[in-house]
Amino acid sequence: NGPVLALVGATGAVGGVMIDIINGRESVPWGEIRLIASPRSAGKKLTVRGAELTVLALAPEVFDGVDVAMFDVPDAVSAEWAPIAAARGAIAVDNSGAFRMDPEVPLVVPEVNADAIAVRPKGIIANPNCTTLSMMAALGALHREFGLRELVVASYQAASGAGQEGIDRLHAEIEAVAGKQLGARAGDVREALEAAGLSVEDTPFTAPLAMNVVPWAGSLRDGGWSSEELKVRNESRKILGIPDLKVSATCVRVPVVTTHSLAVHAVFGSEVTVERAHEIFAAQPSIVLVDDPAKGSFPTPSDVVGGDPTYVGRVRQALDFPTALDFFVCGDNLRKGAALNTYEIAEELAVRG
Ligand code: 2RA
C-alpha cells in the first residue's frame, strides 16, 4: 500500500482545485487520501478518484498515520497546525505565508530546486506565493544557463488571488458597470459601484477593479512597499539560491478572474539571445512558449486559465542592456501558483520515498 496523503482545507477554493488536480492525474502514488477541514465543514462528502470521502474535522488525531499533509488554509491556521501534523509524523507541505521565509523550512518549486525538499528540520516544506511562482519556472531555466543578477518585474494579478471574496467582488463589479457608458470621467466607475451598493469600503482591492487597474496587493510595509512586492523579492532570492539578487517589483491587480501575469526584465551575468532563450523555454516541460507577435501570438490570462504550464511570450533582448531579457509570463494562480505546485511537492516526496 502507498503512503497516506492528507489535504487540509479540502473545502476551500484552492482545496477544490487540489481535488480536481488529484482527480485528473492518470495515477497517484497514495494508498489513502484523507480530506480535512474546519469543524464547520466536517461531514461534507467529496468525490476523490471515484470514492466518496467524508471530510474530517481538523484535530491532532487526524494526522496519525499520515505521511504527507498538504495545507491550503490561512496563515494562522497553518502556523498552528502544520507543526502539529509534523509532530505526529507527517511532512507538512504548506501553501500559506506562515513558514516561507523560515530558514529551517525549504521553499520549493520542483523544476527549480527540488533537492531542497530533502533538508526540512521542522518537517515542513513551504509553497511560494502565487505571484513569485508564476515566473519561477521561466527564471529558473534561464538562471541555470545565464546566471541571473537582477530582476525588475511588474505583476498583473487576478482577483482570485484574494480568494472567493475577490472573485465574487469582481463579478459583482462587472455586473454593476455592464452596459453603461463609463470611463470618460474621473470617479464615474466608483459612483456606479456605490449606486449598486458596492462600497469601496468593502472591497479586498482598495479601489474599483472593474474597468480599472489597481497598483496594490497585500499590506503596507516600510518605505511604501507592499507585502506582496517584498514577497516577490525575498522568495525569488530563496528559491533561486541567490541571496543578493537585486529585485524590484511593482504589484498590480487587474480585472481578471484567474491567472497572474508578470512583465519581467531579467539581467544576467552573460550575454543572452532570444534564440537561445526560446530553446531553453522549449526544452522545459512545464513551459509553453507562445511567442509570434507578427501573428498576434502571445499569452494572455483568458487564453491560458485552467492550464498547468507557465506560458511565456514577448521574449526580447533588451535593446540597451546586452545581458538582459524582457518577457511576459502567465500562470494560473490557483493551479501552478497554489494547488498544483503543492501537489507536485507532495508527489516528489512520494517518489523519493
Ligand atoms: C494575491 N498573491 O494574488 C496573493 C495571494 N496569495 O493576492
pLDDT band at 83 (very low <50, low <70, confident <90, very high): very high
- Report the C-alpha gap between 125 and 91 in whole angstroms: 8
Calculate how far, in angstroms, residue 337's C-alpha sits from the geometric centre of ligand 1: 9
127 lines ligand 1 (CB under 6 A): no
Calculate how far, in angstroms, residue 160's C-alpha sits from the geometric centre of ligand 1: 8
Annotated active-site residue 260? The verdict is yes
Task: Please tell me the number of Cα atoms within 13 Å of 146 on its side-chain side.
Answer: 25
- Residue with cell string 551575468: 269
Q: Find the mean pLDDT for residues 260-272.
A: 97
pLDDT band at 190 (very low <50, low <70, confident <90, very high): very high
Beta-sheet strands, E only, within the chain: 4-8, 32-37, 45-48, 51-54, 56-57, 68-71, 91-94, 124-126, 148-157, 246-253, 260-268, 287-289, 310-317, 324-331
Q: In this predicted model, what pLDDT tens digit does every residue of 325-349 receive, in sequence order?
A: 999 999 999 999 999 999 999 999 9
251 lines ligand 1 (CB under 6 A): no
Q: What is the pLDDT of residue 1?
A: 84
- Report the C-alpha gap between 4 and 143 in whole angstroms: 35
- Residue with cell string 552573460: 270
Whether the complex's predicted ipTM surpasses the cut of 0.85:
yes
Which residue positions form the known binding site? 11-14, 40-41, 100, 157, 160-161, 253, 333
Rounded to the nearest integer, the mean pLDDT of the chain is 97
pLDDT band at 203 (very low <50, low <70, confident <90, very high): very high
pLDDT band at 201 (very low <50, low <70, confident <90, very high): very high
pLDDT exceeds 90 at position 195: yes
Paired sense of beta strands 4-8 and 32-37, if any: parallel
pLDDT band at 13 (very low <50, low <70, confident <90, very high): confident
Radius of gyration for the alpha carbons in the chain, expressed in angstroms and rounded: 21
**Across the beta sheet with 4-8, what order do the strands follow?**
56-57, 32-37, 4-8, 68-71, 91-94, 124-126
Residue nearest to atom 7 of ligand 1 (CA): 161
pLDDT above 90: percentage of residues in the chain: 98
Closest CA to 22 of 57, 39, 55, 46: 46
Q: What is the pLDDT of residue 118?
A: 95
pLDDT above 70: percentage of residues in the chain: 100
